[in-house]
A and B are shown apart, each in its own frame.
Chain A
Amino acid sequence: SQTIHQWPATLVQPVGSPLSLECTVEGTSNPNLYWYRQAAGRGLQLLFYSVGIGQISSEVPQNLSASRPQDRQFILSSKKLLLSDSGFYLCAWTPGLGAYEQYFGPGTRLTVT
């Protein structure tokens, strides 16, 4: 069966510090991968998605970047965090484009102080 992992589970970082969140999927190959952010009191916002190694699509211009160095690894990064980057970050995957069910990881709670 497929499993999706995210770490760390929680993170408290000062403004201006770098960020690296990792997501890995087990039990499948060539998944489509997604990063979402859920800010307090707001809906789920798609940040990036990837259909293959090195292929990243950005949905919202912002202080963050994403990379996919391996087939089942998706990394969310920032060089300098802002207060507005605080939120709950969720990684998700699907077997392919279009009509497939999307599965979510447990999330990372990021607090920027």
Chain B
Amino acid sequence: EDQVTQSPEALRLQEGESSSLNCSYTVSGLRGLFWYRQDPGKGPEFLFTLYSAGEEKEKERLKATLTKKESFLHITAPKPEDSATYLCAVQALEDTGRRALTFGSGTRLQVQP
């Protein structure tokens, strides 16, 4: 069974204090790993898709990296508006036709001014 574990569960940073969020996964053949951002009372918002080990994607202060066992979401010089829950999800090759994603429980990030 596919599994996604995110750590830490919660993270509090000062504005400008860089850090990384971890997503460890086990899947029977990875088709893609996805990062989403979720604000309170809203649905998840897509950030990145990574398809193969060594791949990196960047968007503003966020950078996602992928290895064969885990992904990191690096946050450089965060601002209070980066506060949200960050969700990681995987799609197995065998699930490609069914489009199913397996999500982790997320990391709640709070950035204080």
Task: Tell me, yes or no, whether A binds B.
Answer: no
Q: Which A positions have Cβ atoms within 8 angstroms of B? A: none
Identify the B interface with A (CB < 8 A). Answer: none
